[in-house]
Amino acid sequence: MQIIDQKSTKKAWASAIAQPAKEFPLTPLPILSGKIPEGLRGTLYRNTPARLERAGMRVGHWFDGDGAILAVNFTDTGATGVYRYVQTAGYQAESAAGKFLYGNYGMTAPGLIWNQWRKPVKNAANTSVLALSDKLLALWEGGHPHALDLETLATKGLDNLGDLNEGLFYSAHPKVDSQTGEIFNFGITPGLNATLNVYKSNFTGKIIQKSKFALAGIPLIHDFVLAGKYLIFFVPAVRLKILPVLLGTSSYSDALKWQPEIGTQILVIDRETLSLVSQGETEPWYQWHFANGYVDPSGAVIVDFTRYDDFQTNQYLSEVAAGKTRTAAKNRFTRVVLQPQTAKVTAIETLLDRTGEFPNVPQQNVGKFSRYTYMSLFRQGTDISQELLNAIARFDHNTATLIEANLGENRYPSEPLPVPDANNQQSWVLTVVYDGNFDRSEVWVFDSDRLDAEPVCTLGLPSVIAHSFHGTWKSKNLV
């Protein structure tokens, strides 16, 4: 094995997605260092856009890759892993044809212009996962979720969750209240003006309540916030020019335009009734992901997220698919304070002036105050226009301090997930690391209080895992 030449113009991260990811069956995973903590029992699931190429053609955007799920199961006898593509109808059709057939977020359907109508956008099932008691949902915001077997990852098919009619989509960022078991999510229905559909499900995933709200134009809303008794939507200043998409002359990605004069629209929704509490407007920014939200003792809503000043991030993410980036998409970890009864923003504060992504909190803290936020970052000194996120960190809101795991050169972690210990109050942080020095993937387990120390355990994986967006943890005793 050779270490990649660091003077090469091709960055090490690109090798992880240069070829379609290779599936592997249920396989015992070797312990490379340390030992598996006794209280770490359950399954880590991660969703990855794993195929970005067919017949020598690359996809147009990182978001276009076919989804594959990694499951790593921690048991009393060790760890096992399995990695399988989600068998969507589009994936199966393109596999049979040996070429791309469909359009997607960053690409139009190949061939003649009327293919845009004949070949609808492919559900890539590549963004996130939701683990329920009897199934795993592979999520993609432009369609219905796919249900998979929790153990084998065999695809069962599309799942309408009991009440998703044709044309109703289910986003990749559901929020689960760990106390009530309620699951909240949304979907956008496009049109001359889009509709925001909001859903409440019980712990089984079955939708038990819906509501809808008219939006101005067709915005790109990727995530939202559960904050106490409220659901908060920040509608960024991005709008889709629908005519070029309908004519087949532009992809969705290229037809999305940054319009800062619109500002950021705010919708505050009551979680019990799914009715509108208030709406307002604030200065323009773009966000992909929120860390968390909660109601403070004064009744104000606190929302933490990664804030971009514009929509350059979309260009950067499209370049990732080609294996070489040049766009710097800087952001800041930011806090917004707003009054829920009026949707008026009363304060905007930068919590951390570092570019990062995938902020999250322990599952039990979703919707309420969490002392810690976990995130992926660029190491200090990294050229963010050419690299992928290469560090993970924990931000302490009580002390405004950061502890950071520096994984070293050419190593790229996935979104860090805090995981509870089954036996005590300790917690662990799990991440899947692509080691570009040796072209291999590993699972790293950290003590959450010692992220800046060596991992307590590392596990080897049978094949390279494509860089991923989101994952989840299902405890062994979760039913």
In order along its 479 residues, the chain shows pLDDT tens digits of 223 333 346 799 999 999 999 999 999 999 999 999 999 999 999 999 999 999 999 999 999 999 999 999 999 999 999 999 999 999 999 999 999 999 999 999 886 555 555 667 899 999 999 999 999 999 999 999 999 999 999 999 999 999 999 889 999 999 999 999 999 999 999 888 999 999 999 999 999 999 999 999 999 999 999 999 999 999 999 999 988 888 888 999 999 999 999 999 999 999 999 999 999 999 999 999 999 999 999 999 999 999 999 999 999 999 999 999 999 999 999 999 999 999 999 999 999 999 999 999 999 999 999 999 999 999 999 999 999 999 999 999 999 999 999 899 999 999 999 999 999 888 999 999 999 999 999 999 999 999 999 999 999 999 999 999 999 999 986 44
pLDDT of residue 113: 58
pLDDT of residue 117: 57
Instruction: Report CA dihedral (202, 472, 148, 208) to the nearest 10 degrees.
Output: 10
Whose CA is closest to 45, among 479, 476, 477, 470? 470
Q: Which amino acid is present at 392?
A: I
* Residue 359 CB-density burial (10 A; 0-12 exposed, 13-18 middle, 19+ buried): buried
Whose CA is closest to 63, among 12, 123, 153? 123
pLDDT of residue 199: 98
Whose CA is closest to 454, among 415, 408, 414? 408
Q: Are 235 and 264 in contact (CB under 8 A)?
A: yes
Residue labelled with tokens 């003792």: 297
pLDDT of residue 426: 87
Q: Are 388 and 377 in contact (CB under 8 A)?
A: no
209-216 long-range contacts, Cβ below 8 Å, gap at least 24?
Answer: 209/274, 210/163, 210/274, 211/269, 211/274, 211/275, 213/267, 213/269, 213/276, 215/188, 215/265, 216/262, 216/265
Whose CA is closest to 167, among 147, 201, 144, 200? 144
Residues in Cβ contact with 90 at an 8 Å cutoff, skipping those fewer than 6 apart: 66, 101, 102, 122, 123, 124
Q: Are 125 and 88 in contact (CB under 8 A)?
A: yes
Q: Which domains does the chain have, with CATH numbers?
A: 12-475 (2.130.10.10)
pLDDT of residue 7: 39
